[in-house]
Amino acid sequence: MTGPTPRDDDVDPEDVVDDAFDEEGDDLVPAERPRGPADAHVGRGRPRLTATEVDLEVVRQRALLVGTGYGMRTVEEAERSLDELALLVETAGAEPVHRELQRRDHPDPATYIGKGKAAELREVADALDIDVVVFDDELSPAQQRNLEQHFARDVVDRVALILDIFAQHATSQEGMVQVELAQLRYRLPRLRGRGRMLSQQGAGIGTRGPGETQLEVDRRRILRRVSRLEHELEHLARTRAQQRKARRRRSIPTVALVGYTNAGKSTLVNRCTDAQVLVEDRLFSTLGTTTRRLRLPGGETVLCTDTVGFVRRLPHELVESFRSTLAEVADADLVLHVVDGAAADPEGQIAAVHAVMAEIDADALSEMVVVNKVDTADPDVVADLLARHPGAVAVSGRRGDGIDRLLDAIGARLRALVPVYELLIPYDRGELMAALHREGEVLVEVHGEAGTRVRARLPDALASRVGAFVVA
Ligand SMILES: Nc1nc2c(ncn2[C@@H]2O[C@H](COP(=O)(O)OP(=O)(O)OP(=O)(O)O)[C@@H](O)[C@H]2O)c(=O)[nH]1
Ligand SMILES: [Mg+2]
């Protein structure tokens, strides 16, 4: 790993001199190296190609996109979903060559799109020299198998595509374990029929018991690997939980940025702190988490966490595997929900994010909607979003509009979250008064006969320490 040495999370906040401060060693920014199309074959020691050779790394796979808009109400919604699928395909490194939207209320159990449509698309695939057929909907293992036979090509569904993107982009140790686990969980029920292929990749002599089929051997091997990865992840999750506990003890409020992928979360974190998180105009630039210290205009310090973006129908396997990363969100004091105001359907993206939040039990958190990209968004759309989401703030992470207002709003929201207590502190407990000033926010202080009457906002840890002096 390159880059600065990660600092111990347990350090006293006062000891941290600069504002930048990475909590997860393996999420250090330089580890996420910049990527680009030309990057695919750089640094692999690949010899120069001769004129007759073709570098398959450079020739992009040609993809045929198929959607049915199953479960969607309108054609527009189905079209948008296909647009997004095209972006996902590009992000995965393939080229969307042709798209086909076939409205269907009930998927065909054997082929999803039905025999007739499948035959028609086979011709299209042959004519356009297609390498891979990508379905926008989730296919059952049997459907996928049937379709692969029918097309005589790879058939991939949205879930597999997203898993593939995550696998390509994960750079942190935790991220890689999480993605592999999600892929194995996805593959397990799809093993049948592919069993032989998998086995040939690595089964050694003597691994097969008497009477045991290839499929059972594969299953067993994958299950073993799954349990190893789960174990590893548990260990990493424990470390993370300890870091969070330490943070709680220090009672530094945490703010987590969530939002649809490409909404501009990393841009905002970079703008508000001096973080240098990778920003790119593509889906899933960020897969780990980066936590930075942020000083608000009121002088308070908060920790600000940037993390992985969400997408419609994020595979359940991924949410499951990314639970420990997403726990950073579930544990935050305030969620900044970044919305791309220039997106085709911002409200749809908000709903998709809320669906994932509910899956990780983070839907009860205090949330502030941040409408981003006001520099390019339609002002009417922005006004609409602000009206629909009370307390929302409009900003441009790129240009800097509205950032001061955003920081003020964060401060106000966090202050409102901390309960106010009335206390009577005896004069001989000067150390408690000092703690109230240091760790809480003293609103009123009146010196009386029995001691000092204080009204103050106190974080939980401090409130329990001075609990004996609380009056009515
Ligand atoms: N016009 C405009 N573009 C922006 C703004 N903020 C971010 N962007 C662009 O939007 C793209 C995505 O930005 P990121 O900050 O990487 O988005 P993200 O939400 O972190 O995305 P993921 O990590 O992929 O989920 C980049 O091309 C940014 O330059 C903005 O205020 N205005
Ligand atoms: Mg990002």
pLDDT band at 342 (very low <50, low <70, confident <90, very high): very high
> 242-254 burial string, b = 16+ CB within 10 Å, else e?
ebbeebeebbbbb
The dihedral built from the CA positions of residue 439, 444, 448 and 453, taken in this order, carries a sign that is: negative
- Hey, whose CA ends up nearest to atom 14 of ligand 1? 264
402 Cβ below 6 A of ligand 1: no
3-state secondary structure of 238: helix
**Least confident window among 17-26, 92-101, 134-143:** 17-26
Ligand 2 centroid, distance to 131 Cα (angstroms): 30
Q: What is the pLDDT of residue 249?
A: 65
> HSE-up of 377 (CA within 13 Å, CB side)?
28
pLDDT band at 395 (very low <50, low <70, confident <90, very high): very high
266 Cβ below 6 A of ligand 1: yes
Amino acid making up residue 150: H
- Provide the strand spans (E) within 85-194: 95-101, 132-135, 154-157
Best-predicted range by mean pLDDT (167-176, 188-197, 250-259, 375-384): 375-384
**Mean per-residue pLDDT for 165-184?**
84
Residue 108 has pLDDT above 80, yes or no: yes
Residue 12 has pLDDT above 60, yes or no: no
Report the alpha-carbon distance of residue 338 to residue 185 in Å, rounded: 30
Q: Which run of H or of E encompasses 336? A: strand 334-340
Out of 270, 398, 401, 403, mutate this one to test ligand 1's pocket (max ligand atoms within 8 Å of CB): namely 398
Check for a shared fold between 62-164 and 252-416: yes
Q: What is the pLDDT of residue 66?
A: 95
Q: Which run of H or of E encompasses 354? A: helix 346-359
Angle between helices 265-272 and 403-417 (to 10 degrees): 90
Give the mean pLDDT of the chain. Answer: 81
400 Cβ below 6 A of ligand 1: no
* Domain ranges (residues) in the chain: 62-164, 171-233, 252-416, 418-469
Q: Which has more pLDDT, 25 or 456?
A: 456
Ligand 1 centroid, distance to 267 Cα (angstroms): 6
pLDDT band at 57 (very low <50, low <70, confident <90, very high): low
Q: Which run of H or of E encompasses 235? A: helix 214-249
Q: Which CATH architecture has domain 62-164?
A: 3-Layer(aba) Sandwich (3.40)
Out of 90, 171, 262, 381, mutate this one to test ligand 1's pocket (max ligand atoms within 8 Å of CB): namely 262
**Mean per-residue pLDDT for 95-113?**
90
In ligand 1, which atom is closest to the CA atom of 259? Answer: 19
290 Cβ below 6 A of ligand 1: no
In ligand 1, which atom is closest to the CA atom of 281? Answer: 27
Q: What is the pLDDT of residue 472?
A: 67
Residue 137 has pLDDT above 80, yes or no: yes
Q: What is the pLDDT of residue 343?
A: 93
> Which distant-in-sequence residues (6+ apart) come within 8 Å of 142 by Cβ?
109, 110
- Hey, whose CA ends up nearest to atom 30 of ligand 1? 373
Q: What is the pLDDT of residue 250?
A: 65
- Hey, whose CA ends up nearest to atom 17 of ligand 1? 264
279 Cβ below 6 A of ligand 1: yes
Distance of CA 324 to the CA centre of its chain: 11
Report the alpha-carbon distance of residue 145 to residue 139 in Å, rounded: 9
pLDDT digits (tens, 9 = 90+) for 356-365: 889 888 887 8
Q: What is the pLDDT of residue 212?
A: 58
* Cα–Cα distances in angstroms (integers) from residue 107 to residues 23, 112, 123, 130, in the given order: 46, 5, 21, 23
Superfamily of domain 252-416: P-loop containing nucleotide triphosphate hydrolases (3.40.50.300)
Ligand 1 centroid, distance to 152 Cα (angstroms): 39
In ligand 1, which atom is closest to the CA atom of 306? Answer: 20
35 Cβ below 6 A of ligand 1: no
Ligand 2 centroid, distance to 205 Cα (angstroms): 45
- Provide the strand spans (E) within 244-308: 254-259, 290-295, 301-306
Inter-residue contact 196 to 217 (CB < 8 Å): no
* Cα–Cα distances in angstroms (integers) from residue 351 to residues 160, 312, 358, 385, 433, in the given order: 22, 9, 11, 13, 46
336 Cβ below 6 A of ligand 1: no
Geometric angle at alpha carbon 457, from 265 and 290, rounded to 5°? 20
Report the alpha-carbon distance of residue 141 to residue 195 in Å, rounded: 13
Inter-residue contact 372 to 340 (CB < 8 Å): yes
280 Cβ below 6 A of ligand 1: yes
Ligand 2 centroid, distance to 169 Cα (angstroms): 12
In ligand 1, which atom is closest to the CA atom of 395? Answer: 31
Q: What is the pLDDT of residue 415?
A: 85
- Hey, whose CA ends up nearest to atom 8 of ligand 1? 264
**Mean per-residue pLDDT for 255-272?**
92
Q: What is the pLDDT of residue 52?
A: 55
Inter-residue contact 456 to 420 (CB < 8 Å): yes
Inter-residue contact 283 to 260 (CB < 8 Å): no
Give which of 44, 318, 383, 339 is closest to 184, Cα–Cα. 318
Residue with the two structure tokens 């269907």? 104
Q: What is the pLDDT of residue 72?
A: 78
Inter-residue contact 392 to 438 (CB < 8 Å): no
**Mean per-residue pLDDT for 60-85?**
88
- Hey, whose CA ends up nearest to atom 12 of ligand 1? 262
Give which of 326, 305, 298 is closest to 414, Cα–Cα. 298
Using CA atoms of 380, 381, 383, 387 in order, give the dihedral in degrees to the nearest 10. 130
